[in-house]
Structure 1
């Protein structure tokens, strides 16, 4: 760990005017605040902010940034406050510490909730003062250097992947290549250790075998340039493992096929010397066509300036050379930190020629995030992704929504707002109508189609990916169930009271709330609707003087209805909702006599009166409920039905059957072959009909076909 005087000496070494007293005061304050806190490595926690400050001294940053690094964890991890920091160190330092603290909190929240707003806030906070980002980059670099002390492999991998996806690209975007390359290498070490070790071993072998050759090439380049009258410095460098690995992956080539494992830099005094150096080198050695790039006349967006050329150089070796001035070299290594002008105000930094494009990029990025742009512009411009398991989608107005991979338009709707999700009936993805179960992709524009009459479907829960959507669907279904159970309970209570010749009003029903331990009238009616209470119990509680009635047997229920003390529930269509549902294996139709079976906590299941499945409820007569159809003949509806058909195995048989069903105005929803031999085949046909008579006519017509041997309606 850096000692106090060592840190101060580093800062004074590049900035003699630095506020030594402020740095000393911050050092002592942070050490006291962190006290006995320890890191995973077993070192005192205070060592971390000091090492972060040390990294920033390598970038030659101003006093305020160094002090911010020392204090950057005090608000988050100690009892320090913004007011106290402002009083002791000034508003500038306090605001910088607050910016770094917010980014740290965004990281923690992102890990838990992975919401898009965190990415937006991250970049917006960065744009306010780039020094906040530089401190965060140094913080991440030291954390990556000590990553191996974290015991959890999953956490190490998550941090490494996040570093590769966010922090390394951001460091590169700001031109800080040294930090970018080290972050990539440390992340590479965690994410793919075997590949890195293999590559390092090969590189070391290659370097051992070629070191003398490289030295001779550098000396030859230096000699020819000096003969041409240029004062310069030439050095060779071995590229980092991850940079080589990425190039091998991108080009799908082996290490031996790479021509630029080693590169040479030529450092000269001024811009004119850069072009003179190119002339001297190309005069002595032939250049490789298509390998000349002039980043001096057209700098990169991060301020990088150099001339790149590749030649067939000394000893007939392919040589890659970068030519730059001393100032350009400093910018190439340290990026925006190389020409730090915050001490003269941010406007000075923006006027800097080297960094004009960098600030322009930041402004464009923030404008896109604030006002929306095309997904392609966003992804191309930032080259960033919050997490590799997320997708970025947009509303038609350009609002950025981030979801986990595998998310659907339902997840998107609930991410916009709970009311949008609850009222979702359809969607358009990139302008096309698509199913709600569609999987969203990066850059999709999603438009949610809404209806106030809509409510969440229980089936949605099977394909949503976010916890927010799942919990909202469950909550809405619970509320809808409660309302439906209440309506059903009111019907049941009304039928029971009318059958007993007693008046039923809300005021009268209030008498049963206390004795039956209900919270209110809604709770009472819902309990009757879901079968927890019976209408008879409510009647006997309100009118205890009534003589108890014997519950009728199933035989009388079948023959005469449920009895004069039972309720009558009327069904008005197939969409009966959550409180009343049709028996799936019996599929009752209008025109058939039906009966309801109450299951406590679940509501009513409706069966045809002759369904074999009713036999299992013979011993539970209190669960039987009289149910009747009440269909408006002026507004016909369709209902599901199923037929099992045995047909002759001959050409055209299936066509005859399906054509007849269509001729009778019925739609086939599903058809499957269940058994087949050389003479006959059995098939199961699901179709939609208006009522029992409609189905009977279709069955009679099918039996009249010569290709049909048998038609039955299965019952369970």
Structure 2
């Protein structure tokens, strides 16, 4: 970047730094570290100054007092649009977390359709959050990891950003299935030296073949396999670890497409290709722009070896995907970059279509996950056009993908020249001809069970809704009126024109009869509509509650300040029975917190409670990080000859094998005089969690015990939990 671009980024950093001042993450580090790391990931992708600046600013509207108008005034429309797209819909109240989550995802995807950089910033944000997931509670770790696998990793794949996709998948697996994750890690490490030597031999041989052909500037190296892709092959394809051929892989980077096929010929001349293991993604690129030649051969020593061959440009797209087209280049205008993306990423249009077809945010997200993020097959029309369909799709799905009228008038299908039923599942390479008739009676109610795409299901339902519209409108009005009364509201107060206009805008309908028809047909639930109709009433009630809460907090704060002033007058030091000294305070009750169980040697801080004196916490305890005004300085005051034992909580996670608990207790007993309690549980994935409460002299003894327990076979994690 030139000086002008650096100034934009610097200005964004300074603004974010001021906005996030005195904010801390669950890890205890200053909050500004997170946006800095997001901007760092974006710079690794070589994004433009506006995107990196948006990465620094992406949380200021959501988590600080800054408004979107401030961003627009200080940084312009582009950065404001990206920040708005990434910002969650936190100020809108929904009936359920699932509803709010679906609305957030819908907003994000639609913002991405306006500017692809919205999603690139969000992926960088999610990647850093995943890297720091260890600081959250286990249930939250699993929830975020599941969402990452279902939404964000597939999005990174759709955008072709392999570097982010692979890391998101591997980290998600670590928290969702630690048993399998660490098992694969151990299997990968077991014969690592042997595999490294094998790859080195294969690389040397490929380089020799390339040199004989006279090709220059060919880069050949070994490629590591990602853990999640190994896991998928072991689980979905039910393969043993030793049956996965592409653990051993070589990648060749060349200058031109012509060189790709030349290197392929040289490799097939040297080693015999394995039948059915060659894929030409250059002639037929993936939907995410990925291009490469893949072949698996019988390599040195008769062992399978996968080889990938691609040009430098293809490699850049494989690593960075659409980000490679948005990477800043002098003289390349936004219009050029945007048109490049529009030509390649026509699946954006399908997102807009799904938005128009969906009845709710949840329906929209289900459609996106099923139709765009799942496995796909590629079929041909008789004219030679290639259509991408979700795996499991049939002729009716293909018909409705081409055009609604074709779907509605379908009477049969011919696949590869042979008549097939409408429940036939299309496979990659099939030539599918849709047979239609103008005299067709239209869709059957049973067709909904024959299709798998959300688009086809919606179009079939739409046909029947249009046919029975008047009846559905009348039924819908009756359903909504009854539900409003049952909710305790007056119908005339709620069904105003102003309220209905707001509902129409939120539900993307043109007329209120459309909403009544949806209710009458059973496509919408009245609770969701009532939720939108009563938004203003509930907002006013919430505002009143918040004002009262702030008033209560202010009164409590004044009481605490008064108490602290009184105890500070003595200006003495007080040693508690727990070996803690509070600086400048006398006659104040002191106790060690149970949530983090500090022991001598830990960095500690005091927290002034309401009516229970000072509670002493570890400095990194998440329970006290957000309320800095109630913290006081404390320190340990333990004599060398003091043999007092302090309670410390330790959590052990591992594979639930025979004698695991016995091995843990034996290891602890050898190093600790006092075990106060032991609890254990096993989840459905056979991961055992053992919670111990130990009598410990100091933190050095505790760290030694933790280090020794990590060496127990089949133990994944040993940590001090926060309760």
- In structure 2, the CA distance between the partners of 1:246 and 1:108, relative to structure 1 (3 Å rule), is farther
Aligned residues of 1:269 and 1:325 also touching (Cα < 8 A)? yes
- In structure 2, the CA distance between the partners of 1:106 and 1:56, relative to structure 1 (3 Å rule), is farther
Cα distance in structure 1, aligned partners of 2:487 and 2:114 = 40
Is 1:216 matched with 2:201? yes
* 1:2-58 deviation line (CA, Å, top 9, x unaligned): xxxxxxxxxxxxx34661111111111111111100000000001000000000111
Q: Which residue of 2 aligns with 1:276?
A: 262
Aligned residues of 2:85 and 2:107 also touching (Cα < 8 A)? no
Q: How does 1:62-73 map to 2 (within 5 A)?
A: 62-73=48-59
Aligned residues of 1:59 and 1:337 also touching (Cα < 8 A)? yes
Q: Which residue of 2 aligns with 1:475?
A: 487
Cα distance in structure 2, aligned partners of 1:271 and 1:473 = 69
| TM-score of the superposed pair, with normalisation by structure 1 | 0.52
Aligned residues of 1:456 and 1:477 also touching (Cα < 8 A)? no
Q: What displacement does 1:317 show?
A: 2.1
Which moves more between the two structures, 290-299 or 341-350?
Answer: 341-350
**Alignment counterpart, residue 80 of structure 1, candidates 45, 49, 66:** 66
Aligned residues of 2:367 and 2:453 also touching (Cα < 8 A)? no
- In structure 2, the CA distance between the partners of 1:348 and 1:274, relative to structure 1 (3 Å rule), is same
Q: How does 1:441-480 map to 2 (within 5 A)?
A: 443=454, 474-475=486-487
Q: How does 1:474-513 map to 2 (within 5 A)?
A: 474-475=486-487
Q: What displacement does 1:337 show?
A: 0.8
Q: Which residue of 2 aligns with 1:130?
A: 116
**Alignment counterpart, residue 166 of structure 1, candidates 127, 151, 158:** 151
When Rg is computed on C-alpha atoms for both structures, the one with the higher figure is: 1
Is 1:258 matched with 2:270? no
Cα distance in structure 1, aligned partners of 2:175 and 2:192 = 24
Q: How does 1:419-458 map to 2 (within 5 A)?
A: 431=445, 443=454
Q: Which residue of 1 aligns with 2:97?
A: 111
* 1:222-271 deviation line (CA, Å, top 9, x unaligned): 11111111221111122111110001112111101111112110011122
Q: How does 1:7-18 map to 2 (within 5 A)?
A: 15-16=1-2
* 1:575-617 deviation line (CA, Å, top 9, x unaligned): xxxxxxxxxxxxxxxxxxxxxxxxxxxxxxxxxxxxxxxxxxx
**Alignment counterpart, residue 53 of structure 1, candidates 39, 42, 49:** 39
Q: What displacement does 1:329 show?
A: 0.8
Q: Which residue of 1 aligns with 2:211?
A: 226
Cα distance in structure 1, aligned partners of 2:481 and 2:226 = 44
Cα distance in structure 2, aligned partners of 1:39 and 1:213 = 45
* 1:506-561 deviation line (CA, Å, top 9, x unaligned): xxxxxxxxxxxxxxxxxxxxxxxxxxxxxxxxxxxxxxxxxxxxxxxxxxxxxxxx
- In structure 2, the CA distance between the partners of 1:118 and 1:29, relative to structure 1 (3 Å rule), is closer
Cα distance in structure 1, aligned partners of 2:95 and 2:10 = 33
Q: What displacement does 1:296 show?
A: 1.4
Cα distance in structure 2, aligned partners of 1:345 and 1:358 = 17
Q: Which residue of 2 aligns with 1:488?
A: none
- In structure 2, the CA distance between the partners of 1:430 and 1:196, relative to structure 1 (3 Å rule), is farther
Aligned residues of 2:47 and 2:328 also touching (Cα < 8 A)? no
Q: What displacement does 1:91 show?
A: 2.1
Aligned residues of 1:308 and 1:321 also touching (Cα < 8 A)? yes
Q: What displacement does 1:363 show?
A: 2.1
Q: What displacement does 1:191 show?
A: 0.4
Q: Which residue of 2 aligns with 1:581?
A: none
Aligned residues of 1:18 and 1:63 also touching (Cα < 8 A)? no
Q: What displacement does 1:90 show?
A: 1.9
Cα distance in structure 1, aligned partners of 2:68 and 2:489 = 45
Q: What displacement does 1:368 show?
A: 3.7
Q: What displacement does 1:442 show?
A: 8.8
Q: What displacement does 1:110 show?
A: 7.4
Cα distance in structure 2, aligned partners of 1:196 and 1:52 = 26
Is 1:292 matched with 2:278? yes
* 1:615-640 deviation line (CA, Å, top 9, x unaligned): xxxxxxxxxxxxxxxxxxxxxxxxxx
Cα distance in structure 2, aligned partners of 1:430 and 1:477 = 40
Q: Which residue of 1 aligns with 2:356?
A: 370
Per chain length, whose mean CA-contact separation is higher, i.e. which structure has more relative contact order (CA < 8 Å, sep 6+)? 2
Aligned residues of 1:303 and 1:356 also touching (Cα < 8 A)? no
* Secondary structure of 2:345 counterpart: helix
Q: How does 1:172-251 map to 2 (within 5 A)?
A: 172-231=157-216, 232-251=218-237
* 1:129-161 deviation line (CA, Å, top 9, x unaligned): 00000000000000111111013x222211110
* Secondary structure of 1:85 counterpart: helix
Q: Which residue of 1 aligns with 2:373?
A: 383
Which moves more between the two structures, 49-58 or 443-452?
Answer: 443-452
Q: Which residue of 2 aligns with 1:43?
A: 29
* Secondary structure of 1:234 counterpart: strand
- In structure 2, the CA distance between the partners of 1:290 and 1:135, relative to structure 1 (3 Å rule), is same
Cα distance in structure 1, aligned partners of 2:303 and 2:328 = 45
* Secondary structure of 2:84 counterpart: helix
* Secondary structure of 1:291 counterpart: strand
- In structure 2, the CA distance between the partners of 1:348 and 1:255, relative to structure 1 (3 Å rule), is same
Cα distance in structure 1, aligned partners of 2:91 and 2:305 = 47
Cα distance in structure 2, aligned partners of 1:110 and 1:125 = 23
Q: Which residue of 2 aligns with 1:322?
A: 308
Q: How does 1:530-679 map to 2 (within 5 A)?
A: none
Q: What displacement does 1:122 show?
A: 2.8
Cα distance in structure 1, aligned partners of 2:106 and 2:62 = 21
Cα distance in structure 2, aligned partners of 1:452 and 1:234 = 66
Aligned residues of 1:301 and 1:357 also touching (Cα < 8 A)? no
Which moves more between the two structures, 310-319 or 166-175?
Answer: 310-319
Cα distance in structure 1, aligned partners of 2:202 and 2:92 = 50
Cα distance in structure 2, aligned partners of 1:326 and 1:204 = 30
Cα distance in structure 2, aligned partners of 1:441 and 1:285 = 42
Q: What displacement does 1:472 show?
A: 5.9
Q: What displacement does 1:83 show?
A: 2.5
Cα distance in structure 1, aligned partners of 2:80 and 2:142 = 33
- In structure 2, the CA distance between the partners of 1:98 and 1:110, relative to structure 1 (3 Å rule), is farther
* Secondary structure of 1:80 counterpart: coil
5+ residue gaps, structure 2, are 376-396, 398-402, 405-442, 492-723
**Alignment counterpart, residue 107 of structure 2, candidates 121, 131, 134:** 121
- In structure 2, the CA distance between the partners of 1:270 and 1:241, relative to structure 1 (3 Å rule), is same
* Secondary structure of 2:179 counterpart: helix
* Secondary structure of 2:146 counterpart: helix
Q: What displacement does 1:75 show?
A: 0.9
Aligned residues of 2:158 and 2:373 also touching (Cα < 8 A)? no
- In structure 2, the CA distance between the partners of 1:254 and 1:82, relative to structure 1 (3 Å rule), is same
Q: What displacement does 1:381 show?
A: 3.6
Q: What displacement does 1:336 show?
A: 0.8
Aligned residues of 1:288 and 1:310 also touching (Cα < 8 A)? yes
Aligned residues of 1:110 and 1:118 also touching (Cα < 8 A)? no
- In structure 2, the CA distance between the partners of 1:119 and 1:72, relative to structure 1 (3 Å rule), is closer
Q: What displacement does 1:120 show?
A: 3.5
Q: Which residue of 2 aligns with 1:348?
A: 336
Cα distance in structure 1, aligned partners of 2:111 and 2:313 = 29
